[in-house]
Structure 1
Amino acid sequence: MAGAHTPGRGHRHGASPAPEAGVPPAGRGHDRRLVAWCLAALLVTGSALGSVNLLIDGALREGASRPVYVGTLCVGVLLALALAVRQRVGERATVALVLVGDVSYVVLAWATTDPLRYAPPLMLLSTCFVAAWFLGARGLAVHMTAVLVACAFVLCDSYPSLGALVVPVLASAGMLDVVTFGVFVLRRRVQRLLASTQELSSTDPLTGLANRRSLVDQSPRVWRQARRDGQRVAALVLDLDHFKQLNDDFGHAVGDEVLRGVSCALAASVRPPDVLARTGGEELVVLGLVSDPDEARRLAERLRRAVAGTGAGQDWRVTASIGVALAHPADGEDPVDALWRLVDRADAAMYAAKDGGRDQVQVAGGDVLPLPRATDGGRRRPDPAAGGTA
Structure 2
Amino acid sequence: MTARRLKDTDTRRSGLDVDAGRGVERQVAAWTLAGLMVLGAGMGLLNLSVEGVLREGASRWVYGGTMVLLMALGVVLGLLRRVGRPETFGLVLLGDLVYVVVALCIEDPVRYATPLMLLFPAFVAAWFLSPWMLGVNMAATVLACLVAMWGSYDDPVALTVQVAVNSGVLNAASAGVYVLRRRVERLLEATRALSHQDPLTGLANRRRLVEQAPRVWRQARREGSQVVAMVLDLDHFKQLNDAHGHAAGDAVLQAVAAALAATVRPSDVLARAGGEEMIVLGLVGDAVEARRLAERLRSAVAASRSGGGHAVTASIGLALARPVDGEDAAGAMWRLVDRADGAMYEAKRAGRDRVAAVLPRQRTGQFRDSIPPPSRAVG
TM-score if structure 1 supplies the norm length?
Answer: 0.86
Aligned to 2:374: 371
State the structure with bigger RCO (CA 8 A, min sep 6), 1 or 2: 1
Distance 1:227 1:29 in 2: 26
Distance 2:2 2:271 in 1: 11
Q: Is the 8 A contact 1:27 1:90 kept in 2?
A: no
Aligned residues: 368
Within 5 A, what are the aligned runs for 1:1-390? 7=3, 11-13=7-9, 15=11, 28-310=22-304, 317-365=311-359, 366-374=369-377
* Larger helix fraction of residues: 2
Fraction of identical pairs, as percent: 56
Distance 1:370 1:16 in 2: 33
Q: 1:8 to 1:63 in 2, by over 3 A?
A: closer
The structural deviation recorded for 1:188 is 0.7
Q: Is the 8 A contact 1:323 1:363 kept in 2?
A: yes
TM-score if structure 2 supplies the norm length?
Answer: 0.89
Q: 1:296 to 1:274 in 2, by over 3 A?
A: same
The structural deviation recorded for 1:6 is 5.1
Cα root mean square deviation, aligned? 2.7
Distance 1:59 1:206 in 2: 65
Deviates more, 1:71-80 or 1:175-184: 71-80
Runs of 4+ in structure 1 deviating by more than 4 angstroms, as ranges, are: 5-10, 16-19, 24-27, 311-317
Q: What per-residue deviation string (whole Å, max 9, x for no partner) do you get for residues 213-237 of structure 1?
A: 2222322332333333332222111
Partner secondary structure for residue 11 of structure 2: coil
Q: What per-residue deviation string (whole Å, max 9, x for no partner) do you get for residues 240-296 of structure 1?
A: 122222223333233222212211211111112211111111100111122222221
Q: Is the 8 A contact 1:13 1:273 kept in 2?
A: no
Distance 1:293 1:337 in 2: 22
Distance 2:72 2:106 in 1: 22
Q: What per-residue deviation string (whole Å, max 9, x for no partner) do you get for residues 68-123 of structure 1?
A: 21221222223222322222111111111100111111112111212122221111
Q: 1:110 to 1:331 in 2, by over 3 A?
A: farther
Aligned to 1:386: none
Q: Which segments of 5 or more consecutive residues in structure 1 lack a partner in the other structure?
A: 377-390
Distance 2:94 2:255 in 1: 56
Distance 2:144 2:153 in 1: 15
Q: Which segments of 5 or more consecutive residues in structure 2 lack a partner in the other structure?
A: 360-368
Q: Is the 8 A contact 1:360 1:368 kept in 2?
A: no
Distance 1:335 1:39 in 2: 38
